[in-house]
Structure 1
Amino acid sequence: MPLQHILVVYLISVLLVFLPSFGLAKLFAKAGRESWKAYVPFYNTWVMQDIAKRPKHWVFWQFIPVVGWFITPGIFIEFAKVFARYSFGEHIMASLFAPFYFPWLAGRKDLRYVGPDVVKHYKKAAWREWVDAAIFAIVAATLIRTFVFEAYTIPSSSMEKTLLINDFLFVSKLSYGPRIPNTPLSVPFMHNYLPGSSGRKSYSTAIELPYIRWFASPVKRNDAVVFNFPEGDTVINRPEFQSAVPYYQMVRALGRQAILGNPDEYPLAIHPVDKTDNYIKRCVAVAGDSLQIIAGVLYVNGAPAYVPPHSSTFYRFTVKQGQIISEEDLREAGIRLNMGDSEGGAKDFSSIGGNMFRANLSVGELEKLKGIASVDVASIQKEIEPTAPGAMFPYDRSISWSVDSFAYDHALWVPKKGASVELTPRNMLFYRRCIEVYENNKLQEFNGKVFINDKEATSYTFKMDYYWMMGDNRHKSQDSRYWGFVPEDHIVGKAWMIWMSWDKGPRWKRLFNIIK
């Protein structure tokens, strides 16, 4: 963990125990202790525990990064009790608004110090026991969700047939190091919107923290990764848009002014990094790699890349003269088909005229297709989407790429922390968003010259590692081919295990499978 991250964490810890000191000093005096002790961070909580006759080892727990932030409010609540403050409302104030609560409490005319012996005889109402237990459970679950693992549901077909719609996953936060939330003030267990609220945000930006990741470990090539959608910082806040139809896609189609000038039809929501929608894809290239897709084959650093065993792509084929083939024939052969609407829209099997068909197949399923008697095996060909000017990232008409022919004319380099790139007109097409948006620089171009933070620059050194993500379902995945690089600060965690899978009932064979 970088030193500056440690300093930020402990600065917050110090402020939590110091800011209430102005009220605590008067309360210490009423409890028979010297007032000055209230102004010494952490010594003051030691004294509070001594006054309340509570275990002093709680004070040491305060030094555990982030966990200590949740211990401090507990100490405040126990201290408030020795002044006969037992109500649920006051305990909420003591835990969440201590800098205001303790000065208010110290100024109360009816304030009296009753001591720890009286507190021992106080008995909570049954409902308080339940509420306190629920709050503890929420805090514990929030810590686990933030720092250890999080549950995630597969919403689309972009990773089929490796991961299926309605697979429920555990995502490991420890694999790449837990990331501190940019927006710590949020409703527990809610991501970016309150359910049933028509797009009302579930978080506050009153406090925003910089990117901090503890015990950071880089993403490994071929990992299945959950990350925040890079183009999700701005979304059209309507259900039919969000990340399914990204704001930047609409800007490219209609123009920015057409969107900004019509807020009733295109209401916008701005999200910090940790509150953009979660995506899951496979990391096919890591920082420093170069990649190309030629005739549907991915190459990384000049060599054919790893092909996941259940990765799928479309094939075209014909059936023999006088023969027919149906969806049932493919299913009976053991071929899994998604015939509903999904990311990309196309069904996994369809007729394309006459005796010609197309099917979305993994390598193993391709062999099963060849075993169907009615199929003309010699006719089977991988479907290759033709190139088109400006159709893919970086959406410039001087570049004709497609999902199957991407960077085929010149390998695309993935930015690496500490590495530099020359700021040529072509490179600016690929790396402008990294420099300006992800790394927060002021970027301007005048008369063929580039200015970064008002200084002329001919090269740029990256501050973060970046990754290239692609879905295993290569023809039905919205991925880096459409929106480019994924910065390291967008990485959430590694997809680890399927704990439940559902399709009109449990898919028993998928339960507790480790994701590869």
Structure 2
Amino acid sequence: MSWKFWQKTKEEDNKPRKKKTRSREWLDAIVFAVVAATIIRVFFIEAYTIPTGSMERSLLIGDFLFVSKVNYGARIPMTPVAFPFAHHTMPLTGTKAYWDGVQWKYRRLPGLSDIKRNDVVVFNYPQGDTVALERQDVDYYQMVRSEGWSAVNTQYTVVSRPVDKRENYIKRCIGIAGDTVSMTAGLVSVNGKPEKLKNTGQFSYEVTFKSTDVNFGIFEEMGFSMRSADPDIMQMSQNSYAFTGSELMMDKVRKLDFVASVKELSKPAGQAEIDVFPHDPNRNWNVDNFGPIIIPKKGWTVKLDSASMPLYERSIRIYEGNKLEKSGNGWLINGKPADSYTFKMDYYWMMGDNRHNSLDSRYWGFVPEDHIVGKALFIWMSFDTNGNFFNKIRWSRLLRGIH
């Protein structure tokens, strides 16, 4: 190093650095905050809110949750070019909040544990790959079944969404990969073992009173909602009412001296519902009676025939990205004849705790592992949107863990 070069470098180091302007300092701080918050949100923890009653009474409308990305392993963004803090739609303009010109393969960092039965899980809605923008509150495929493909695609703006930009749902994991699930008269069985609804879950009951003179205020004190928008009690006949409540709540109702009987309300076996998975006219399944269904597991091979294809066709074609075609009495997968298929991912069966008010796996089937977002940990804030000004915060639910 020459003496002149060393001297010049020393003089430059001794020069006073130009001070940043106030606006530049604010800009640097904002950029740092956005980058740091994005990293935390993508790889560690994210806040969610409960918009519907499908998980009542485990989770209530107005609950704000922290969801861990670490427990199951953070998913590497599959659509990396996106506006920070927006999911799929910009809040003011209503335009797309991402660019799907760049798509990365599904990858996940190592997690602390696998998904277990009864975990409360946040995931991307599996059938959210196609959406009618004017009717985003309604499942596109359900609209097609009821209105026809041509009518839906001519009346509405239909778009497709990448996996990580589909709507976020929260449900309880009833079955993991490899399990066999079924339901009889509203009671779920996993691997042949009946699994009663958790005490915080809700079911429908028919309550018959001994007379028409009933003080319904007592039911409000028990925790039943009497709001006109979403009542837990609805009249069926002169002395009979349909109640929606937990098993513990209904045990208290049974003990009332003016109650004649309490029985569970479920659809009869054999009464088919076309909107119930797998939408197969040869299966007389409904929301309270279905199965058995084997949940696909990575490495599991299924025989392809008329019985299995309604259950697994969407998983093979859409979730695992194969070209699937019918060829005579057989099938072509990616142009090659196939009489079996080996799954590349694990799948899960998710259901809401509010059994008769939940859009869940009974309607759209399996949740693939690449749709899993994270595990719900605890409630950090809860607002009762129907409460008065001083009663809006549900203090008893703050910092409550989710089980």
TM-score (norm 1): 0.72
8 Å CA contact retained: 1:211, 1:489: yes
8 Å CA contact retained: 2:177, 2:296: yes
Q: How big is the shift at 1:398?
A: 1.1
Question: Any idea what SS the aligned residue of 1:221 has?
Answer: coil
Aligned residue for 2:397?
Answer: 510
Task: Give runs of aligned pairs for residues 2-21 of structure 1, distance below 5 A.
Answer: none
C-alpha separation in 1, matches of 2:374 and 2:343? 22
Task: Give runs of aligned pairs for residues 138-177 of structure 1, distance below 5 A.
Answer: 138-177=34-73
Aligned residue for 1:452?
Answer: 333
Q: How big is the shift at 1:115?
A: 6.6
Q: How big is the shift at 1:341?
A: 4.5
Alignment length, in residue pairs?
Answer: 387
Consecutive unaligned residues of structure 2, counting only runs of 5 or more, are none
Residues 341, 442 of structure 1: alpha-carbon distance in 2 compared, 3 angstrom cutoff: farther
Task: Give runs of aligned pairs for residues 314-393 of structure 1, distance below 5 A.
Answer: 314-326=204-216, 328-332=217-221, 334-337=222-225, 339=227, 341=229, 347-376=231-260, 379-386=261-268, 387-388=271-272, 390-393=274-277
C-alpha separation in 2, matches of 1:186 and 1:340? 40
Aligned residue for 2:280?
Answer: 396
Q: How big is the shift at 1:340?
A: 5.4
Residues 340, 190 of structure 1: alpha-carbon distance in 2 compared, 3 angstrom cutoff: farther
Task: Give runs of aligned pairs for residues 458-473 of structure 1, distance below 5 A.
Answer: 458-473=339-354
TM-score (norm 2): 0.92
Task: Give runs of aligned pairs for residues 88-237 of structure 1, distance below 5 A.
Answer: 121-197=17-93, 199-216=94-111, 217-237=113-133
8 Å CA contact retained: 1:154, 1:164: yes
C-alpha separation in 1, matches of 2:297 and 2:307? 18
Report Cα offsets for 1:409-449 as digits up to 9, x if no partner.
xx100000011111011100000000000000000012110
Q: How big is the shift at 1:126?
A: 0.5
The one-letter code sitting in structure 1 at the alignment partner of 2:249 is: E
C-alpha separation in 1, matches of 2:282 and 2:381? 46
Aligned residue for 1:499?
Answer: 380
Report Cα offsets for 1:83-131 as digits up to 9, x if no partner.
xxxxxxxxxxxxxxxxxxxxxxxxxxxxxxx97666x611111011111
Question: Any idea what SS the aligned residue of 2:210 has?
Answer: coil
C-alpha separation in 1, matches of 2:37 and 2:239? 56
The one-letter code sitting in structure 2 at the alignment partner of 1:335 is: G
**Larger C-alpha radius of gyration, 1 or 2?**
1
Q: How big is the shift at 1:225?
A: 0.3
8 Å CA contact retained: 1:393, 1:484: yes
> Are residue 297 (structure 1) and residue 191 (structure 2) matched?
no
Question: Any idea what SS the aligned residue of 1:127 has?
Answer: helix
Q: How big is the shift at 1:323?
A: 3.0
Question: Any idea what SS the aligned residue of 2:298 has?
Answer: coil
Task: Give runs of aligned pairs for residues 252-267 of structure 1, distance below 5 A.
Answer: 252-260=145-153, 262=154, 265-267=155-157
Q: How big is the shift at 1:329?
A: 2.2
Q: How big is the shift at 1:308?
A: 1.8
Aligned residue for 2:142?
Answer: 249
Instruction: Give the % identical residues.
Output: 46
The one-letter code sitting in structure 2 at the alignment partner of 1:481 is: R
Residues 122, 494 of structure 1: alpha-carbon distance in 2 compared, 3 angstrom cutoff: same
> Are residue 430 (structure 1) and residue 292 (structure 2) matched?
no
Of residues 284-293 and 244-253 in structure 1, the stretch that sits farther from structure 2 once superposed is: 244-253
Aligned residue for 1:268?
Answer: 158
The structure showing larger relative contact order (alpha-carbon pairs under 8 Å, at least 6 residues apart) is 2
Residues 431, 187 of structure 1: alpha-carbon distance in 2 compared, 3 angstrom cutoff: same
Q: How big is the shift at 1:324?
A: 2.0
8 Å CA contact retained: 2:177, 2:295: yes
Residues 125, 222 of structure 1: alpha-carbon distance in 2 compared, 3 angstrom cutoff: same
C-alpha separation in 2, matches of 1:220 and 1:444? 35
Q: Which has more strand, going by share of residues?
A: 2
Residues 339, 402 of structure 1: alpha-carbon distance in 2 compared, 3 angstrom cutoff: farther
Question: Any idea what SS the aligned residue of 2:311 has?
Answer: helix
